[in-house]
Amino acid sequence: MNATIRPFRPTDLDALKLLTVESFNGVTLEQNVEQSLGVLNGHDWRWRKSRHIADDASANPAGIFVAESDGRIIGYISTLIDRDAGKGRIPNLAVDSTARGEGLGRRLIEHALDYFRREGLAYAMIETMAQNEIGRHLYPSCGFVEVARQVHFARKL
Ligand SMILES: CC(C)(COP(=O)(O)OP(=O)(O)OC[C@H]1O[C@@H](n2cnc3c(N)ncnc32)[C@H](O)[C@@H]1OP(=O)(O)O)[C@@H](O)C(=O)NCCC(=O)NCCS
C-alpha cells in the first residue's frame, strides 16, 4: 500500500472518529468498562472512544498525522507535548484493518518521533492494553522499553 503521511486538517475529524471506533474494537479501555458495567449514561464505548480523537485534535492539532492512500484516510497518529517536561506522548494510533501488517503503524510512530525530535523533546511515551498483542509487539520493536503496568478499576454509582 502506497500511503502518504500528511498533517491533520480539521475536515479530517469525522473520518478519524470513524476509523477510531472501527479500529479500537477489542483493544480499548472504554469497551472493557462497558463489558464489565454495561452501557453507561446512555452512551456506548464507541461514543466515548470517538471523543478521544476530538480531544487530541483540540489539544494539539499540529501533532496529528494522517495516512492517506488514493485519497482515502487509512491511518493516523495523535500526539501531545509537555514542553516543560520534554515529553511527547502518543495517545492514539490506528490503521484501517485493510491496511495493517504492511509497516504503516511503524511509519506513523517514526513520523511522530521525528516530530518530537524537531520539537526538541527528550523522551516519548506510549501505552497499550495488555490484551493488545500488536501494540505489545510493535512498541518495543520501535525502541520503547516497558516502564510500568497499570490496573484499571471501575464501579457503578
Ligand atoms: C496497532 C496498529 C496501528 C498497527 O498498525 P500496522 O500498520 O498493522 O502496524 P505495522 O504493520 O507497522 O506493524 C505491526 C506489527 O505487529 C505484528 N503483529 C501483527 N499481528 C500480531 C499479533 N497478533 N501479535 C503480535 N504481533 C502482531 C506484525 O508482524 C508487525 O510487526 P513486525 O513489523 O515486527 O513484523 C493497528 O494494528 C491498529 O490500528 N490496531 C487497532 C488500534 C490499536 O490497537 N491502536 C494502538 C492502541 S495502543
Instruction: Look over the chain and give the mean of its residue pLDDT values, rounded to a whole number.
Output: 98
pLDDT in tens, 23-64: 999 999 999 999 999 999 999 999 999 999 999 999 999 999
The total domain count for the chain is 1
134 falls in which pLDDT band (50, 70, 90)?
very high
The span from the CA of 22 to the CA of 81, in Å, is 26
Question: What distance in angstroms lies between residue 84's CA and the mean position of ligand 1's atoms?
Answer: 31
Does residue 48 fall inside a structural domain?
Answer: yes
Does residue 20 fall inside a structural domain?
Answer: yes
In this structure, which residue's CA is closest to atom 26 in ligand 1?
134
- Taken in order 124, 106, 92, 37, the sign of the CA dihedral is negative
Does residue 152 fall inside a structural domain?
Answer: no
Does residue 51 fall inside a structural domain?
Answer: yes
Domain that holds residue 120: 4-141
Share of the chain above pLDDT 90, in %: 99
Q: Provide residues with CB under 6 Å of ligand 1.
A: 23-24, 27, 93-95, 100-106, 128, 132-135, 137-138, 141
3-state DSSP assignment of residue 66: strand
How many residues comprise the chain? 157
Q: For residue 17, give the C-alpha cell.
A: 472518529
Query: Which atom of ligand 1 is nearest the CA belonging to 101?
Result: 11
- Among 74, 134, 141, 150, residue to substitute to test ligand 1 (most atoms within 8 Å of Cβ): 134
Burial environment of residue 110 by CB neighbours within 10 A (0 to 12, 13 to 18, 19 or more): middle
Does residue 92 fall inside a structural domain?
Answer: yes
CATH number of the domain at 134, please.
Answer: 3.40.630.30
Does residue 155 fall inside a structural domain?
Answer: no
Q: How far apart are the first and last CA of the chain?
A: 47
Query: Which atom of ligand 1 is nearest the CA belonging to 107?
Result: 12
Read off the pTM. Answer: 0.97
Does residue 157 fall inside a structural domain?
Answer: no
Does residue 119 fall inside a structural domain?
Answer: yes
